[in-house]
Amino acid sequence: MDVLKAVETYMTKMVSTPSAMKVLLLDTHTTPIVSLASTQSTLLTHQVYLTDRIDNRKRDRMPHMKCVCFLQCSEESLAALESELREPKYGEYFLYFSNVLSKTAIERLAQVDEYEVVKEVQEYFADYAPVLPYLFSLNHTPSLACPLYGSTPNSWDPKALECTVQGIGAVLLSLKKKPVIRYEKSSGMARKLAVGIQHRLQSEASLYDFRLTQVPPLLLILDRRNDPVTPLLSPWTYQAMVHELLGIHNGRVDLSLVPDIRSELSEITLTPSTDPFFQAHYLSTFGDLGTSLKGYVQSYQSRSLAQSPNSINSISDMKRFIEEYPEFKKLGGNVSKHVALVGELSRLVGRDKLLEVGEIEQGLATSAGADLKEVQAVIRDNAVPVWNKLRLVILYALRYQKTHTTNIASLINLMLLNGVSRDDAKLVYVFMNVAGADQRQDDLFSTESLLAKGRSALKGLKGVENVYMQHSPHLSQTIENLLKGRLKETSHPFLESPGPNASLQRPQDVIVFMIGGTTFTEARAISLMNNESTGSAAAGSTAYAARILLGGTCIHNSSSYVEMIRSAATSFPASVYEPPPESASNMPSLNLNLGGVNVSLGGPVGTGVYRTSSDAIGVQTEGIRDGVMNLLGKVKQGVDKIGIQ
């Protein structure tokens, strides 16, 4: 179940015919899909000499060229294609659509094709972005202009629902899977999506007529609201950190705002399929990354000595230099890219005090809990950005909503005194109302036994991963229960049960879709599970092996997730901005819709300590922080000395 390979196969088929010089026309939806699944050099090998947008009316007329169009079946794209066919700029057109094309749309195109330039019309089901082989996105980042939610946190925007059904349908068709469907019972959105997909499977039965397997594939539909914690946490692996701090958009990263960045590095491509260093280390932790980058730089340094003029003493040396130079130049560019990237991550981690904030976040997200005084100290620290203060209080509120409402109120008041706007502060209430304890199906913060806490404290703190990666996404537990036959039908029912004891069956192929967006942290968990299954199979183990694919509405970082909730709340009832009923008496009112703000400052702050940690662990954590920062600093100094041209 490799979505990247599936879309690459579609792309190869598209651009292979006709075997002549051709133009590739895309729309706003298919452009990022093609950029993730193909490269310019790959397209050139298939004689694609020009790639453009179909809505660009300033293209030159080139009747000697063939034209391949890969478009979404949307009204905008169909209208642009109709305009193109009325006044064709190319000799022949080969039309490919990313999803099922209606009979009405085909008739519309036939009517405008007066010059009979259309030679082929096909459906290639690449209606999603293949981010990684085991991760796909529908590239729908919810906003005011393009909402996901309806008038309540548990309802769909009709257009978003239709697009999601189409996107998941395309994933199933491209992988040739007809699954049984399970969904999160507490989520009305999950059930409605399940019904929509089931209806599509039945209405397009001939398309989904694939070979049956002993245990059918499973589509598991989950709701982001059941785990609001994972996207709020600071991640500590390479790919996830880049997305959190800089943003990865369809495999590209904008570094134009990085201080003293070279012009050629102002925007970089960052995909595992085209970058060997990133392929090897995109799941590495921040601590391990410094060591790996140092080795990469040293490797380049040794290559650069071999390519120096002093090493060329014969004709054969010259020949070797000419043959190896392009690869050497490419290696130099890649080293420069990763040094700049890791250097900027290191700068931002230090500037925003993310190591200190991250440790408290992990305490809040795990059974350890966190000390109120630690959270208060971060809020009072002027060096910590306002955004991180807000995230920390939202996490505290989600964890202690039922037990420490007075403390939450005091933290909100403290935020207001330390740079957080009232408009931002009311997001604490929005999260409590939208994804709080009463809205979640499962307990994210289940308390451990004293024995379990002891085992956790005695684990060796070998590196950053142990300190800053204690939290495991809730998705991991859900998938683990599923693979062990423990995922109960009372919590995740089948839409249509395939038979008795269906929940005990172990599907070989599992497709997980997260309504409201997934994260790179969850993708890493899925990758580790897939690798474990593959390793067991390779070792000849009789253990059960499964292939898992993760998808979501989009790939979130903390800011995109909070902005999604912020924009969605404008369509929800006004009560979403008020404290939850059980804690209203202790909370200050922050509802700005009434034109005034009633903030009660002061009151009981609370001095309870909710997470214990020994002095030894604290000292070791400080040592890890210093070690990571020193290592990254030394790597950067080494690269600067090399002076990559």
- Specify the pTM: 0.86
Mean pLDDT of 68-84: 95
- Could you tell me what percentage of the chain is helix, strand and coil, using 3-state DSSP and rounding each to the nearest 5? 50, 15, 35
Q: How far apart are CA 536 and CA 281, in angstroms?
A: 22
> With bands split at pLDDT 50, 70 and 90, how would you rate the model's confidence at 463?
very low
Rounded CA gap, 231 and 560, in Å? 9
Q: Does residue 500 surpass a pLDDT of 90?
A: no
- Report how far residue 462's alpha carbon sits from residue 144's, in angstroms, rounded to the nearest whole number: 45
Rounded CA gap, 169 and 160, in Å?
14
Burial tier of 327 (Cβ tally within 10 Å: 0-12, 13-18, 19+): exposed
Helix or strand (DSSP H, E) at 31: helix 30-37
Structure tokens at 126: 């690449």
Tokens of 30: 């298919």
Distances in Å between the alpha carbon of 408 and those of 430, 579, 583, 588? 14, 11, 10, 10
Residue 540: its pLDDT value, please? Answer: 55
Residues 6+ apart with CB under 8 A from 316: none
pLDDT, tens digit, 9 for 90 and up, residues 387-440: 999 999 999 999 988 888 889 999 999 999 999 999 999 999 999 999 998 888
Helices and strands in the chain: count of H runs, count of E runs: 23, 13
Q: What is the DSSP letter of 272?
A: G
Residue 268 has φ and ψ, to the nearest 5°, of: -125, 155
Residue identified by tokens 């109960």 is: 488
Tokens 């380049």 map to which residue? 300
> What pLDDT does 550 receive?
97
The 8-class DSSP code of residue 146 comes to: S
Beta carbons of 210 and 179 less than 8 angstroms apart: no
Q: How many CB atoms lie within 10 A of CB 294?
A: 17
178-200 pLDDT per residue, tens: 999 999 999 999 999 999 999 99
Q: Which domains does the chain have, with CATH numbers?
A: 3-125 (3.40.50.2060), 132-227+473-558 (3.40.50.1910), 238-351+625-642 (3.90.830), 354-466+578-610 (1.25.40)
